[in-house]
Amino acid sequence: MARTRFDIGELAPWIEMRYARSGGPGGQNVNKVSTRAELYFDFARADVLSDAQRDRVARRYASRLAEDGRLRIVAQETRSQSANREAAEVRLIELIAAALYVERPRTATRPTRSSQRRRVAEKKQRGETKRLRRTKGEE
């Protein structure tokens, strides 16, 4: 079975980091310091991923792909460049893991006879409770 969890060190050769000024409030820090981190992951060339895994990432995150086909992640939550870089790296690991996770197919089962009886008994009890709450005029 193929791996679904990777370390940032394993993906590092295919990661490019760029920094820019982030928007929003922050005053002089936002206006002068490039704290926004943009991470670009070239998953198409990453040999740690199989062809099937690359296809899953491409399909799942088609709207997140940059013009050149790399996965783009932007982090600008904090005032620190290093914290934003770490946030982008953590998000990359989570996105890759989410894209590669394959749910097991559900095995259809039938309810047991006793569980069916319990369900019907609970429904009858609930109906009886509601019937007893009614006022004389509603019947």
List the CATH code of the domain at 8-100.
3.30.160.20
**CA–CA dist 51, 4 (Å, integer):** 13
Residue boundaries of the structural domains of the chain:
8-100
Cβ–Cβ under 8 Å, residues 67 and 39:
no
- What average pLDDT does the chain have? 89
> What percentage of the chain reaches a pLDDT higher than 70?
94
Whether the per-residue pLDDT at 23 is higher than 70: the answer is yes
Q: What is the mean pLDDT of residues 65-78?
A: 91
pLDDT per position as a tens digit, 84-118: 999 999 999 999 999 988 889 999 999 999 999 99
Residue with tokens 């039938």: 110
In the beta sheet, which residues pair with residue 18?
Answer: 38
- Residue 77's contacts (CB-CB under 8 Å, 6 or more residues apart) are 83, 84, 87
**CA–CA dist 104, 70 (Å, integer):** 29
For residue 138, the model assigns a pLDDT of: 62
> What percentage of the chain reaches a pLDDT higher than 90?
60
For residue 38, the model assigns a pLDDT of: 94
